[in-house]
């Protein structure tokens, strides 16, 4: 099946620093990737839609200047948490939408990365 990777899997940083998280689709091209955040014992919350070659679309209540998203190629999207604070500590998950929806992807299936656990001290 299609594979999506995230790097790093775990990061600890000091308050006020910026952290970049990478999301890669390893064996397929993705014009669209999505970024989610998940707090402990809660469901995933969609943060933004990342489109290759254009600006990301943010969900209501998500600060675009704090969570910078870049989708520079069909296989890579990055999320940068700027000036991180302890309340930004969370599990960040990306997903990628297969461009060539077909038998393998069973029509527009999304594939999720393993997540990045961010801890801000």
Partner 1 sequence: DAKTTQPNSMESNEEEPVHLPCNHSTISGTDYIHWYRQLPSQGPEYVIHGLTSNVNNRMASLAIAEDRKSSTLILHRATLRDAAVYYCILSKIGSSNTGKLIFGQGTTLQVKP
- Contact residues toward partner 1 (CB under 8 A) are 4, 6, 32, 34, 36, 43-46, 49, 91, 93-95, 97, 106-115, 117
User: Residue 86: what are its φ and ψ, rounded to 5°?
Assistant: -55, -35
- Least distance CB 71 / partner 1 (angstroms): 13
- Least distance CB 34 / partner 1 (angstroms): 7
* Closer CB to partner 1, 46 or 72, in the complex: 46
3-state SS, one letter per residue, for 59-71: CCCCCCCCEEEEE
Q: Is the dihedral of CA 66, 9, 59, 89 positive or negative?
A: negative
Check residue 61 and give left, alpha or beta (phi > 0: left; psi -120 to 50: alpha).
Answer: left
Q: Which 3 state secondary structure label does DSSP give 121?
A: coil
* Closer CB to partner 1, 51 or 82, in the complex: 51
- Least distance CB 83 / partner 1 (angstroms): 26
* Closer CB to partner 1, 17 or 42, in the complex: 42
């Amino acid at each position: 099946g299609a594979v999506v990777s995230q790097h790093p899997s775990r990061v600890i940083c000091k308050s006020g620093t910026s952290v970049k998280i990478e999301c890669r689709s390893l064996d397929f091209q993705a014009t669209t990737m999505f970024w989610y955040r998940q707090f402990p014992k809660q469901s995933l919350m969609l943060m933004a839609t990342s489109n290759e070659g254009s600006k990301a679309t943010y969900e209501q209540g998500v600060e675009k200047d704090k969570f910078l998203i870049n989708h520079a190629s069909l296989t890579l999207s990055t999320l940068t948490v700027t000036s991180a604070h302890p309340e930004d500590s969370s599990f960040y998950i990306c997903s990628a939408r297969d461009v060539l929806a077909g038998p393998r992807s069973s029509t527009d299936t999304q594939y999720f990365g393993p997540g990045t656990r961010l801890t801000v001290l």
